[in-house]
């Protein structure tokens, strides 16, 4: 990504918060989903998932931009899981500034959270590091666990070298430049 100023590059791409630019942590070392990627993801979801009132789990939340997009499009609650302390502080700051009381931010390892959570969600979104060794196991862990309600959706963001189409519940993969979204339904 280089030394871009993320405040200039990141904005909410649709919904009630469209155009707002949250103040995100400059020290976060991850690879945030681009505005183009997020906009494409929500265009893809629009015809498949009713987001109004949905409960969402965002794994590997990073800056929380995808979680904010879910709020902007009518989701009732979002739980964002991230282990980087600076990123978590940044999300808490946005939640306070924007008065998003339904945004629960959890500082934890996403894979540990997946294996222990007792809460069920309508939709789970995961944006792990593309080089995460367990990346191809995440769909199995999410879909075979109790995280998703029956009929719930799981979306995995990944790079071009990852193929998860062999997992049960796989529906499709969409490619937007170097960003790939694989969709699964429980």
Quick check: is 18 in a domain?
A: yes
What's the pLDDT tens digit per position in 25-38? 666 667 777 778 88
In this predicted structure, what is the pLDDT of residue 15?
A: 85
Quick check: is 93 in a domain?
A: yes
In this predicted structure, what is the pLDDT of residue 3?
A: 33
**In the structure, what pLDDT confidence band is assigned to residue 7 with cuts at 50, 70 and 90?**
very low
Pairing state between β 179-185 and 148-158: antiparallel
Dihedrals φ, ψ of 135, to 5°? Answer: -50, -45
Quick check: is 126 in a domain?
A: yes
What's the pLDDT tens digit per position in 131-144? 999 999 999 999 99
Report the mean per-residue pLDDT for the chain: 89
Distance (Å, rounded) from C-alpha 118 to C-alpha 182?
24
- Per cent of the chain over pLDDT 90 is 69
Residue located via tokens 């071009």? 160
Quick check: is 1 in a domain?
A: no
In this predicted structure, what is the pLDDT of residue 28?
A: 66
Distance (Å, rounded) from C-alpha 75 to C-alpha 77?
6
Quick check: is 162 in a domain?
A: yes
In this predicted structure, what is the pLDDT of residue 24?
A: 72
Please report, for the domain that includes residue 25, its CATH number: 3.40.50.150
What's the pLDDT tens digit per position in 102-139? 999 999 999 999 988 889 999 999 999 999 999 999 99
DSSP string, the chain: -TT--HHHH----SSTTTT------TT--S-PPPHHHHHHHHHHHHTT---TT-EEEEES-TTSHHHHHHHHTT-SEEEEEE--HHHHHHHHHHHHHTT-TTEEEEES-HHHHHHH----EEEEEE---TT-TTGGGHHHHHHHSSSEEEEEEEEEEE-TT---TTSTTEEEEEEETTEEEEEEE-
* Distance (Å) of CA 119 to CA 12, 123, 163: 27, 12, 28
Rounded (5°) CA angle 142-50-76: 80
Quick check: is 68 in a domain?
A: yes
What's the pLDDT tens digit per position in 40-98? 999 999 889 999 999 999 999 999 999 999 999 999 999 999 999 999 999 999 999 99
In this predicted structure, what is the pLDDT of residue 4?
A: 34
Quick check: is 29 in a domain?
A: yes
Q: Which domain holds residue 36?
A: 6-185
The number of domains in the chain is 1
């Amino acid at each position: 990504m280089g030394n871009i100023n993320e405040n200039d590059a990141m904005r909410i791409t649709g919904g009630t918060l469209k155009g707002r630019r949250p103040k995100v942590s400059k020290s976060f070392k991850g690879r945030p989903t681009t505005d183009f990627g997020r906009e494409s993801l929500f265009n893809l979801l629009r015809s498949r998932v009713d987001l109004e009132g949905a409960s969402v789990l965002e794994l590997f939340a990073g800056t929380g931009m995808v979680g904010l997009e879910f709020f902007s499009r009518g989701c009732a609650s979002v739980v964002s899981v991230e282990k980087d302390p600076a990123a978590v502080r940044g999300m808490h700051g946005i939640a306070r500034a924007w008065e998003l009381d339904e945004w629960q931010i959890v500082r934890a390892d996403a894979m540990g959270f997946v294996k222990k959570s007792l809460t069920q969600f309508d939709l789970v979104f995961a944006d792990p590091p593309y080089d995460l060794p367990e990346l191809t196991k995440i769909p199995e862990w999410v879909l075979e666990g109790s995280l998703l309600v029956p009929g719930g959706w799981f979306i995995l963001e990944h790079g071009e070298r990852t193929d998860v189409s062999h997992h049960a519940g796989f529906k499709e993969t969409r490619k937007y430049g170097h960003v790939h979204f694989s969709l699964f339904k429980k």
